[in-house]
Structure 1
């Protein structure tokens, strides 16, 4: 009897990934984010539009839908994150792109 594969042709709408966020004086702290999945075409369109996007809060709200922090995942708290931890937006976006790029390697 063959075992069932966990792989399906319909990807989950979200995925989780720990992101090392830079903490001045303390190195990095891993925070798990819940990211939004994008199809190959949607991902390409997203990447093509990155050069025109300057609002880090809006960008992070577009790629993620949650985090493991006690603070709610909303625009105000994402704003607190990017204001308080320089480099955090880049770290989150980089992790998102890396994770979806890995997924694309299989295509």
Structure 2
């Protein structure tokens, strides 16, 4: 049986359902950066003035798409799929809280 570690891994993966206009949501697995609760609260205070792609860069370290995880490609994702930024942020915060969605 695995034991809880007081210092978690610096990254974790989670699946995010990216809303596709006119279609079903497409799942994308992201590698997210772990943050402590206090760091998350401070970081969230800075997000209201940032573009979605910058917020995604702040919280993610990679994805399982064929396209490379670069600032330009993150911006393209957020531009082509307007709901992506919010969906990614929601999934990130849910994972940090340990609240997994039921299937």
TM-score (normalizing by structure 2): 0.88
1:29 paired residue number: 26
Q: 2:60 aligns with which of 64, 67, 76?
A: 64
1:11 and 2:37 matched: no
The gaps in structure 2 that reach 5 residues or longer are: none
1:49 and 2:53 matched: no
Equivalent position SS for 1:71: coil
In 2: Cα distance, 1:35 partner to 1:20 partner: 15
Q: CA RMSD in A?
A: 1.4
Moved over 6 A (4+): none
TM-score (normalizing by structure 1): 0.85
Normalized per residue, the structure richer in helix is 1
Number of aligned residue pairs: 99
